[in-house]
Amino acid sequence: MKDIYQIAVVPGDGIGPEVAAAAVRCLDALFGPAGPLVLREHPAGAELYRRSGESFPAATYAACRDADAILHGAAGLPGIVHPDGTEAGLDFTLRLRFELDLFANIRPIRLYPGVRSPLAEVAPGGIDYVIVRENSEGLYAARGAGAQLRGELAVDTLVQTRKGVERIVRQAFELARSSRGAPADGVRRVTCVDKANVLRSYAFFRAVFDEVAAEYPEIEAEHGLIDAMAMYLVTRPGHYNVIVTENMFGDILSDLAAATIGGLGLAPSAEIGVTQGLFQASHGSAPDIAGKGIANPYGTLLSAAAMLDWLATRHADARLGAGARRLRQAVEAAIAEGVLGRDLGGRYGSAEITEAVCARLG
């Protein structure tokens, strides 16, 4: 336990500043003026790159590395790219993942009471699982390293290591063991998603999964091929409990999963390593709606709650654990009472949603 926790807040691009401001406002309201968090803002992103040629200043990197946790709005603007065609604004997230070894990207998928799923036959509470996305290797290991030859050919290499697969699979089983949730049939399970039928790297992922699974005999272990899983998350989302997969597949499945619970506006994420954590909503910077005051901040607020939980466990600090619970309950209450933005068929703006949550912090 510490007296004070330094939080590096990076608003980023598009709607990033709006949703980050919402989180700062709620964290301030949660703990009051003498609270345990010190929130300090730092610049990064596509807009900064456009203005200065630098997307992720060294000072911001140092602040993130040295902070107790990092809270991010959103980053990236489609037109602002590096010479190789990839987006400059994504340097922040992607470099932090690799350089701070934030290997576990934890993405809870939950259909909240008060939200209608686009899936016809899903009952409230009928979707409640967690995607554990490997966040430090896989196809993303190729970022910045792929080759392009004379405009004739381009290659990127997918890498899976024993260490990388073992630790993410273990994380998934630990989560399945410790979480109170369970799928509709009451069976705790971890589903390994791969393409082991076609590619060696995924067959390797599966083989390592099977080894680790043997250490957890009380938890059901199953395999799903990525293509079939893309179907199953639509046709039987209630079956899943914890899903573990390679970086690229996790990227795809987590957006798909978010669609089934009402969209990315409700999907938080926690990217954690051994010494640091990055917390941001799963959504992007949505430049089309930026600056209009209509961005949905719930994903970021839920990510801030995940940050408090992570800090609470790491530093054995009950204040933060209690704060996480209050913040999460306030978000759930606001959603259940119909305080929804346009993305969910409601009429509330970012500021109104934020105040509604603050009013329910109790």
Catalytic residue positions, numbered = 140, 195, 227, 251, 255
- Span of 16-24, 168-176, 226-234, 324-332 interacting with a copy of itself by CB under 8 A: 226-234
- Binding partner of 148, given a copy of itself, ligand IPM, none, CB within 5-8 angstroms per partner class: a copy of itself
Please give the full DSSP string across 1-66, using - where no structure is assigned: --S-EEEEEEEESTTHHHHHHHHHHHHHHHH-TT-SEEEEE---SHHHHHHHS-SS-HHHHHHHHH
> Among 156, 155, 148, which residue's Cα sits nearest to residue 248?
156
> Among 279, 349, 319, 286, which residue's Cα sits nearest to residue 97?
279
349 counts as binding ligand IPM under rule CB under 6 A: no
| DSSP SS3 for 57 | coil
Per DSSP bridges, beta strands 104-110 and 128-134 are antiparallel
221 counts as binding a copy of itself under rule CB under 8 A: no
Check if the beta carbon of residue 242 is closer than 8 Å to that of residue 176. yes
Binder to a copy of itself among 4, 227, 291, 322 (CB under 8 A)? 227
Q: Which is nearer to ligand IPM, 251 or 317 (CB)?
A: 251
118 counts as binding a copy of itself under rule CB under 8 A: yes
Binder to ligand IPM among 282, 296, 300, 303 (CB under 6 A)? 282
Binder to a copy of itself among 34, 58, 120, 214 (CB under 8 A)? 120
Question: Alpha-carbon distance 321 to 189, whole Å?
Answer: 26
**Least Å distance between CB 351 and a copy of itself?**
25
Residues found in the chain: 362
- Span of 116-124, 269-277, 296-304, 334-342 interacting with a copy of itself by CB under 8 A: 116-124
Neighbour count for residue 67 (Cβ, 10 Å):
20
- Span of 7-15, 106-114, 141-149, 330-338 interacting with a copy of itself by CB under 8 A: 141-149
Question: Alpha-carbon distance 328 to 357, whole Å?
Answer: 9
Which x/- pattern over 197-216 shows residues binding ligand IPM (rule: CB under 6 A)? -x------------------
312 counts as binding a copy of itself under rule CB under 8 A: no
DSSP secondary-structure letter at 339?
-
Question: Alpha-carbon distance 132 to 242, whole Å?
Answer: 7
The b/e string for 8-25 (b: 16+ C-beta within 10 A; e otherwise) is bbbbbbbbbbbbbbbbbb
Per DSSP bridges, beta strands 277-281 and 268-272 are antiparallel
Q: Which is nearer to a copy of itself, 69 or 233 (CB)?
A: 233
**Residue in the block written with tokens 């393409």:** 195
Check if the beta carbon of residue 143 is closer than 8 Å to that of residue 94. yes
CA 335 to chain centre: 19
Check if the beta carbon of residue 49 is closer than 8 Å to that of residue 89. yes
Check if the beta carbon of residue 298 is closer than 8 Å to that of residue 324. no
- Binding partner of 161, given ligand IPM, a copy of itself, none, CB within 5-8 angstroms per partner class: a copy of itself
82: its two tokens: 């590096």
Q: Which is nearer to ligand IPM, 198 or 322 (CB)?
A: 198
Residue numbers 70-129 binding ligand IPM by CB under 6 A: 76, 90, 93-94
Q: Which is nearer to ligand IPM, 37 or 260 (CB)?
A: 260
Binder to a copy of itself among 29, 39, 159, 182 (CB under 8 A)? 159
Q: Which is nearer to ligand IPM, 93 or 296 (CB)?
A: 93
Report which secondary-structure segment, H or E, holds 356: helix 350-359
184 counts as binding a copy of itself under rule CB under 8 A: no
Residue numbers 24-83 binding a copy of itself by CB under 8 A: 76, 78, 81
256 counts as binding a copy of itself under rule CB under 8 A: yes
Q: Name the residues that contact ligand IPM, by CB under 6 A.
A: 76, 90, 93-94, 198, 227, 251, 282, 284
Residues in touch with a copy of itself (CB under 8 A): 76, 78, 81, 84-87, 90, 94, 116-121, 139-140, 142-143, 146-148, 151-162, 195-207, 226-228, 230-232, 234-235, 248, 251-256, 258-260, 263-264, 284
